[in-house]
A and B are shown apart, each in its own frame.
Chain A
């Protein structure tokens, strides 16, 4: 699905990612954990194509194509999805029109005609139910006045609508209470198939109780310093990040 090799990236001349290697196959869930400032959000931003970041070295292949060569919208059309840690409020742009545009641009990219109004509304209803998103929110401006939980659910709702091949969940659990966390996790689990994959970026282990990863990677100081199975997350939870910091300080 995605193959990241020796990825280096900097922002304002400061190197944040210092050689990331990661291989994610279809059907897999990978969790990336790490202390604050380790480069977790930078990794997701670089993969989604945010302009502020400069890739200085390395390569990323997404379904056989050079990901870094694509504009952000093309990455999305190719099936990459980033669930934002801080979803952006866009006053004056209705949630529903925004989604329709996104869906139709993706369909056009795949050589399909625009979605029928009737089918689109049915799809919206179905996917809203999945994340228990209030139908009224669809007609409001994108994320405007949404609570923290509603914003995160809206991210998963969009993901459900766009059916990406690879979804990167960037600290989707931050700012969520237990109930919202369960709703979001249920949504993700329902959408999981053998054909798609997830990279779940999180600071805490608790999300991984609900979305069970196949692999856990520890990111520290711009590198993946340790990889393992789901038990690695539990170990990390028990020992804390200080242990990691001590062990890999010199890197």
Chain B
């Protein structure tokens, strides 16, 4: 008797494999392990502790019944360009030199993952372990022509890079963008990673970025998800921060039916620092799930997290933040805060801070709050002649502003505010 195939991972593999071609840059052993992981563990259901509120398996089963992988190309990205930034474009996981700005910036090197030298190749899958998570495995098995972005030693990129990731297909498709962003010692850059979906099809974007911030370098990173109602995505950032280096990320979820962000930061060198900020404003039946892991491996590091959510209609927001302080990581300072506003009776917010501390001389704290719009503030504004609708917008803007103000590139901030109706 032949058992009916119920494994979502297997279905995806069967659907994509014939069209994916061979992934050239992934080392053979990683590829094998990734496939084995998928075969054995599959796509996580809500029985998996890390996916308790985000049953990707069920969502994929329901929404992606017929993955045809008919990917579409794009002729222009002008409408998505942001002022005072350099645009780089990735279409369905493939870097597009044609659509990207043709500007040479001193100290910036862009390369395809396929064309890396031996030294560069060593970085592939060096911090994103294909056996640690199904989506890293899936990406490792099927990513297209990912790109490598390097900021040279001592270089300070004067203009922010705006990387637009476009997922576009007819019917249903799975897209696996992948990159490595490397900041060499003493370098500095601001990189905006902006995900959009285009066209009539439904896309499942399984994004993976490995970010390496070397000694005394500073990476300011903005992640913006805006894939609209046909967009489903799991976005993984694996970040390694070395001695005296600094990593700042602000993640803004503007749209997307499913957005799951896995932001895993390893503070690997002493005196390094990481800040993660996040904002999600959800509506309809959206599910936005932010998972962070702040792994303090060595002493004298600092981390800070601030995530804010506004949940409306029947949507669901999740924040799960884990701070891991290893035995040797004395003098760690780690803070985490999650604040949420529930606008509707049918909305759901799940927040879960997790502190695992194995060192004894540390300062760690976390806080979480969920409430409604402050009624006394609402009445005060109304009593000055401001309508309920405007007052609502003003108060939500004030709430979200704490995160939006972290966006130091004006055009990005304006774009986000406009998209949120502020």
A interface residue numbers (CB < 8 A to B): 48-51, 71-73, 75-77, 81-82, 84, 87-88, 90-93, 97-99, 101-102, 105-106, 109, 141-142, 158, 162
21 inter-chain pairs at a CB distance below 8 angstroms, sorted by A residue, are: A50-B379, A71-B387, A72-B382, A72-B383, A73-B383, A73-B384, A75-B383, A76-B383, A76-B384, A88-B380, A90-B398, A92-B397, A92-B399, A93-B394, A93-B397, A98-B384, A98-B386, A102-B384, A102-B385, A105-B390, A141-B398
Task: Tell me the smallest distance from the CB of A70 to a CB of chain B, in Å.
Answer: 11
Check if B402 is an interface residue, CB within 8 A of chain A.
Answer: yes
**A77-B385, A109-B385 in contact; A51/B401 too (CB < 8 A)?**
no
Q: How far is B382's CA from A156's CA once the two chains are assembled, in angstroms?
A: 17
Whether, in the assembled complex, B74 has its beta carbon less than 8 Å from a beta carbon of chain A, the answer is: no
Task: Report the Cα distance A84→B395, complex, angstroms.
Answer: 19
* Given A92-B397, A105-B390, A72 and B402 contact (CB-CB distance below 8 Å): no
Q: Could you tell me the dominant secondary structure of chain B's interface residues?
A: helix
Top 7 closest pairs, chain A to chain B, by CB: A92-B398, A76-B385, A72-B382, A88-B380, A102-B384, A73-B382, A93-B398
A101 in contact with B386 given A90-B395, A92-B401, A92-B402 (CB within 8 Å): yes
Is B376 interfacial (CB 8 A cutoff)? yes
Chain B 369-405 per-residue mask, 1 if CB under 8 angstroms from chain A, else 0: 0000011110111111111101100110111011000
From B376, B380, B386, contact of A105 by CB (8 A): B386
- CB-defined contacts of A82 to chain B, threshold 8 Å: 383
Contacts A76-B385, A98-B384, A98-B386 aside, 12 further interface pairs with beta carbons under 8 A come to A48-B379, A72-B379, A76-B386, A77-B385, A84-B380, A88-B380, A93-B394, A99-B384, A101-B390, A102-B381, A105-B386, A105-B390
Q: Which of B's residues lie within 8 Å of A, judged by CB?
A: 374-377, 379-388, 390-391, 394-395, 397-399, 401-402
Question: Contacts of B394 on A, CB cut-off 8 Å?
Answer: 93, 97-98, 101
> Complex formed: what's the CA distance from A149 to B390 in Å?
28
- Which residues of the partner chain B approach A88 to less than 8 Å between Cβ atoms? 376-377, 379-380
CA–CA, A179 to B377, complex, Å?
A: 29
- Across-interface contacts of B375 in A (CB, < 8 A): 51
State A63–B401 Cα separation when bound (angstroms).
Answer: 40
Please name all residues of chain B whose beta carbon is closer than 8 Å to the beta carbon of A98 when the two chains form the complex: 381, 384, 386, 394
List, in ascending order, chain A residues with CB within 8 A of B380's CB: 84, 87-88, 90, 142
Q: How far is the CA of A142 from the CA of B383 in the complex (A)?
A: 14
Most chain A beta carbons < 10 A, residue from B382, B383, B384, B385:
B385
The answer to whether A73 and B398 have CB atoms under 8 Å apart is no
Q: Is the CB of B385 within 8 A of A162?
A: yes
Q: Which residue of A48, A50, A73 is within 8 Å of B387 (Cβ)?
A: A73
Distance from A89 Cβ to chain B, minimum over Cβ atoms (Å): 8
Compute how far the CA of A58 lies from the CA of B383 in the bound complex, rounded to whole angstroms. Answer: 22
For A92, what are the chain B residues with a Cβ–Cβ distance below 8 Å?
397-399, 401-402
Residues from chain A with Cβ under 8 Å of B391 in the complex: 73
Q: Give the nearest-CB partner of B399 in chain A.
A: A92
Give the residues in chain A near B402, CB-CB below 8 Å: 92
- By the criterion CB–CB under 8 Å, are B398 and A48 in contact? no
B-side contacts of A77, CB under 8 Å: 385
Please indicate the chain B residues that have their CB under 8 angstroms from the CB of A75 in the complex. Answer: 383
A77 to chain B, nearest CB (A): 5
Q: Choose among A71, A90, A99, A141 the residue with the greatest number of B CB atoms under 10 Å from its CB.
A: A90
Option from A81, A84, A102 in Cβ contact (under 8 Å) with B386: A102
Asked if residues B385 and A106 are in contact (CB atoms below 8 Å), the reply is yes
Known A91-B398, A98-B394: A73·B377 in contact at CB below 8 Å: no
Chain B neighbourhood of A71, CB < 8 A = 382, 387-388
> Shortest beta-carbon distance, B379 to chain A, in Å?
6
Which of B384, B391, B397 has its CB near the most chain A CB atoms (within 10 A)? Answer: B384
Cβ of B34 to closest chain A Cβ, rounded Å: 45
Residues of A within 8 A of B395 (CB): 90, 93
Central interface residue in B376, B386, B395, B402, by most chain A CB within 10 Å: B386
A73 touches B401 (CB 8 A): no
Bound: A154/B376 CA distance, A: 17
Given A98-B394, A101-B394, CB of A49 within 8 Å of CB of B385: no
| Contact residues in B for A73 (Cβ distance below 8 Å) | 381-388, 391
Beta-carbon contact of A105 and B385 below 8 Å? yes
A98–B377 Cα distance when bound, in Å, is 12
Interfacial chain B residues near A102, Cβ < 8 Å: 381, 384-386
Using known A-B contacts A71-B388, A101-B390, A101-B394, determine if residue A90 contacts B383 with beta carbons closer than 8 Å: no
